[in-house]
């Protein structure tokens, strides 16, 4: 499988490159990064372009962990080539997600703010906890490196959406502050920490009377996201047009 990697020079782009290189059944077709030179950068066996519109090579699928500003061009390229697309980019707007959903009617697309298998299992765990721990207060604390642009994290939003599927009355409160900040019934507080080289930590706190349960996920490196993204691309190659997520990949294991 020949893979195009968008956001090639970013942390996750490099992790995706390494995942492809480790896999004996895949290879890199090309990279795309806004940090590449206008004429493109030569690597051993492939080229890294400044924009996807400059790409000349063919590929079997694309992995995009870049910036939301690239979404429209990446989706357009994938539609034109009729190839599957894995999107792990965070900070997407409702307009971006609507574009992706429309495109998925013509090509297979997997959209996930976190392609690690562990986090996607955690989503099921917190949903069940939400059903069982009625009356418990819920807080989400997410921690990431100091270069992350969006807050709260896409993963924390996934966690909230999973819990809300168990209790539709839940509502979010981002960064509680001010003199009148007493929590309300069914409120879920979001708290974002940005510092150093933290990869990705998420804690979901269920606080009840005289007891607290904390469900946590800690990423040791970006490899878990990259390995999951590559498995997701393999999965998409066997699927019809549609919009998929990592739960579909997990169910297929």
Q: Point out the annotated binding site for NADP(+).
A: 34
* CB of 218 closer than 8 Å to CB of 118: no
Rounded (10°) CA dihedral 85, 91, 96, 97: 70
Helix axes 117-132, 154-164, angle to 10 degrees: 40
Given its phi and psi angles, is residue 53 left (phi above 0), alpha (psi -120 to 50 degrees) or beta?
alpha
Is-catalytic flag, 191?
Answer: no
> What whole-number distance in Å separates Cα of residue 153 and Cα of residue 191?
10
DSSP 162: H
Parallel, antiparallel, or unpaired: how do β-strands 200-208 and 137-144 relate?
antiparallel
Given the residues 81, 105, 143, 144, the one annotated as active site:
144
Structure tokens at 250: 């997990």
Which of these, 238, 247, 236, 1, lies nearest to 109 by C-alpha position? 236
Is-catalytic flag, 43?
Answer: no
Given the residues 148, 157, 191, 202, the one annotated as active site:
148
Q: Point out the annotated binding site.
A: 7-12, 34, 88-90, 112-115, 145, 154-155
Q: Point out the annotated binding site for (S)-2,3,4,5-tetrahydrodipicolinate.
A: 145, 154-155
Q: Point out the annotated binding site for NAD(+).
A: 7-12, 88-90, 112-115
Per-position DSSP letters for 106-154, written without gaps between them:
TSEEEE-S---HHHHHHHHHHHHHHHHSTT-EEEEEEEE-TT--SSS-H
> What whole-number distance in Å separates Cα of residue 202 and Cα of residue 163?
14
What is the CA angle 193-66-119, rounded to 5? 55
Which residue numbers are catalytic? 144, 148
């Amino acid at each position: 499988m020949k893979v195009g990697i968008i956001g090639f020079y970013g942390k996750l782009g490099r992790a995706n490159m390494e995942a492809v290189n480790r896999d004996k059944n895949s290879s890199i077709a090309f990279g795309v990064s806004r940090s590449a030179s206008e004429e493109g950068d030569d690597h051993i066996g492939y080229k890294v372009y400044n924009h996807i519109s400059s790409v000349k090579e063919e590929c079997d699928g694309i992995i995009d962990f870049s910036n939301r500003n690239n979404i429209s061009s990446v989706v357009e390229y994938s539609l034109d080539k009729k190839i599957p697309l894995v999107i792990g980019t965070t900070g997407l707007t409702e307009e971006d997600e609507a574009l992706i959903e429309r495109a998925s009617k013509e090509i297979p697309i997997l959209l996930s703010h976190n392609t690690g298998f562990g986090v996607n299992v955690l989503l099921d765990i917190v949903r069940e906890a939400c059903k069982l721990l009625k009356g418990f207060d819920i807080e989400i604390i997410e921690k990431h490196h100091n270069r992350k642009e969006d807050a709260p994290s896409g993963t924390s939003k996934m966690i909230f959406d999973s819990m809300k599927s168990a209790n539709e009355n839940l509502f979010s409160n981002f960064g509680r502050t001010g003199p009148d900040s007493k929590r309300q019934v069914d409120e879920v507080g979001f708290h974002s920490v940005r510092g150093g080289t933290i990869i990705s930590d998420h804690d979901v706190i269920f606080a009840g009377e005289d007891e607290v349960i904390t469900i946590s996920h800690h990423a040791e490196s970006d490899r878990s996201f990259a390995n999951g993204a590559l498995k997701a691309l393999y999965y998409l190659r066997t699927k019809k047009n549609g919009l998929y997520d990592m739960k579909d990949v997990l169910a297929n294991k």
